[in-house]
Amino acid sequence: MTDPRLNIIPERFKGVKNIIAVSSGKGGVGKSMVSVSLALAIRDKGFTVGLLDLDFTSPSTHIILGAPSLFPSEDKGIVPPITNGLHYMSIVHYSADKPAPLRGSDQSDAIIELLAITRWEKLDYLIIDMPPGLGDATLDMIRLIPRITFLVVSTPSRLAFESVKKLLLLLIELKIPIKGVAENMVMEESNYIKTEIQKLDLRYLTKIAFNKEVEDSIGDPDKIVSSKFHKDVSKILDFI
């Protein structure tokens, strides 16, 4: 008759004040790095923050956080473990970091299962690292998560932005709130992305300079927090 998980999902987010899905139309633009850095920046402002990695086929926030082997506890559902001061949930808790070859409908089912059984503590912010594109995960989150907002990441590349623009147009059409667009991996001065964002009547959040040090900070949250990358990402705090 019906899937009993769907009805309970809004209930699971009742204690979460702000839900921000970090998304992009394109893969490889740095969503996961931005998600982790933003979560750490919000944490350092004294807020309670959750981080949910929904990139089921390529989860990577556990590598960025240097938190490879965590397991949620159980209390009338599952309770995300805390790492680096973040309430942290990822499919990697269950996939043992092995490949998860999931078709769209299976990804959808896995997302629904995870959302239905995860009991978040009271959070000021939940940052969601989304998989790229306009596929099942994005559509499911729009359908299932009340009060979801999107923070979209692009690079200066026109190719990347063409995909990002499709996501933005979809969100605008569906009247889903958009915090704005962050431009990542900027190597030279150009106003192309900023101008395009303004044409859509959206906010240009920050310009994040390309920085080789970012690669060295993977797995070390303290290094991330002291990086130029993090300083650029932290400018997003003014808009959320």
Partner 1 sequence: MIVILKNESMTFPAMHEWALAEGIISTADKFAKENNITSITEIHIMIGELQQVEHDIVEFALEQLRTPLMKNTKFIIKAIPAKFKCRNCGHEWTFITGDFTEDVSEAIHFVPEMAHVFIKCPNCGSPDFEVSEGRGVWLQSIKGIKDD
**Residue 123 or 164 having the CB closest to partner 1:** 123
Q: Which x/- pattern, by CB under 8 A, does the window 62-91 give for partner 1?
A: ------------xxxxx------------x
Binding mask 140-179 for partner 1 (x = CB under 8 A): ----------------------------------------
- Shortest distance, position 79 Cβ to partner 1, whole Å: 10
- The β-bridge partners of 207 are 183
Segment holding 11, helix H or strand E: helix 5-12
Minimum CB–partner distance for residue 146 and partner 1 (Å): 15
Which distant-in-sequence residues (6+ apart) come within 8 Å of 73 by Cβ? 79, 81
Determine the 3-state secondary structure of 1 from DSSP: coil
The first and second tokens of residue 190, run together, are 């150009």
Site residues for partner 1, 2-31, by CB under 8 A, read 2-8, 11
Binding to partner 1 (CB under 8 A) within 33-62 occurs at none
| Choices 115-123, 151-159, 192-200, 211-219; region in contact with partner 1 by CB under 8 A | 115-123
* Member of 114, 182, 193, 197 binding partner 1 (CB under 8 A): 114
* Closer residue to partner 1 (CB): 104 or 177: 104
User: Which residue, 5 or 203, is less far from partner 1 as judged by CB?
Assistant: 5
User: Which of 58, 94, 146, 147 is close enough to bind partner 1 by CB under 8 A?
Assistant: 94
How far apart CA 123 and CA 50 sit, in angstroms, is 7
Q: Is 125 left (phi over 0), alpha (psi -120 to 50) or beta?
A: beta
Which one, 77 or 180, has the nearer CB to partner 1?
77
Query: Shortest approach of partner 1 to residue 63 CB, angstroms?
Result: 17
Q: Say how far apart CA 22 and CA 166 lie, in whole Å.
A: 15
> Which one of residues 103, 175, 199, 212 is an interface residue with partner 1 (CB under 8 A)?
103
DSSP 44-103: HTT--EEEEE--SSS--HHHHTT--S---EESSSEE--EETTEEEEETHHHHTT------
Burial class (CB in 10 A: 0-12, 13-18, 19+), 187: exposed
Task: Summarize as ranges the residues that interact with partner 1 (CB under 8 A).
Answer: 1-8, 11, 74-78, 91, 94-96, 98-103, 106-107, 109-110, 113-114, 116-117, 119
